Amino acid sequence: MKSNLYNHTFFISIIVALLVNINGIAQQIDINNYRTRFGFKTVKQADNSRLLEVSFIALNKKDRKDQPAVYEAEIKFFNILNDEEILLGSSKTSKEGIAQLILPENQKYSTDAEGYINLRARFDGTDALSEEEEDLMIKDLHLDLNLTEIDSVKTVTLTAFTLDSLGVKTPVSDVYIITYVKAMLSKKNIDEGTISDGEYTFPMPQSFAGNPKGNLTITSIIDDSDEYGNIIQEKTVQWGTFNKTIKQDKNMLWTKAAPIWMYVVLTILLLGVWLNYIYTIANLFKIKSEGENLSPEPKKNYSVN
């Protein structure tokens, strides 16, 4: 009983010491030594949904490596039109200081006279942190990725356009776009170019290994455009060259099936061991049987005259 009480006291002391240490460190952090960085971006994703993302971190004014994230901060996202705020939703920052809100493809936005969607991300502030706010102005660009074979040439065609309030398409120009092929651990840049009159076309520059079914995932990205933001479009096509069945060597040291000679040697060794067991047991029974068949010598009776 005394030993258990001692152990409990010991562990409680350690926990109290850790709590005191953590509180001491927290008290040493002075918010005046930090400045906050509030970044806001939007990404139109491959399924045509729109991601709104805020990065909220603090920067040490002296030590640039000290960049703690602002955790559990509620970020509100708005669509702005003529000083009217239309709440799209809210999200709290993660342990990495990231807050995200995904809007569906059929989300309706209010746009200004030039067709811009005005977006706003805002943190209302607390007693320790001041209010943060950032606005974005983008046009909703529609990016289509078409993968076809023209005269046996694998061809990638990109079309980009905007829609007005009546649904009329307006081709865009001077938009820089990069196209990648997804690999297992990274992605390979296969083409870069500028969309002109709403279209950009290029042939696949080389053959690429796909998955076991021969599929490739091709991704086109408009990155950080001043007018359209970030846009991603991707498709999977059976253009990969991985169509060979790998034939594994049989009965080798590095395969699951060992060489035949190893099975033969192992069988002979095991057979020899079991024969030795049988021979020994048979001899033990033989010795026992012979011992039982031995008759003892008759006792001699001696008489005294």
Residue 75 has pLDDT above 90, yes or no: yes
Query: Architecture of 141-237 per CATH?
Result: Sandwich (2.60)
Q: C-alpha dihedral over 69, 73, 78, 83, to 10 degrees?
A: -100
The Cα 159–Cα 181 span in angstroms is 18
Least confident segment among 109-118, 147-156, 291-300: 291-300
The partner residues of 160 in beta bridges, in order of sequence, read: 143
Q: Scanning the structure block, which residue is given the tokens 């009480």?
A: 5
Percent of the chain having pLDDT more than 90?
51
pLDDT value for 12 = 45
Count of CB atoms situated within 10 Å of the CB of 280: 9
Tell me the CATH class for 31-138. mainly beta
Q: How confident is the model at residue 24 (pLDDT cuts 50, 70, 90)?
A: very low
pLDDT value for 62 = 83
Within the chain, which residue ranges are assigned CATH 2.60.40.730?
31-138, 141-237
Residue 18 has pLDDT above 70, yes or no: no
Nearest alpha carbon to residue 160 among 180, 138, 175: 175
**Residue 207 gets which letter from DSSP?**
-
Q: How confident is the model at residue 6 (pLDDT cuts 50, 70, 90)?
A: very low
CB 43 within 8 A of CB 229: yes
Q: C-alpha dihedral over 68, 231, 213, 153, to 10 degrees?
A: -140
CB 180 within 8 A of CB 169: no
pLDDT value for 266 = 86
Residues making up the chain, counted from first to last? 305
The Cα 105–Cα 198 span in angstroms is 21
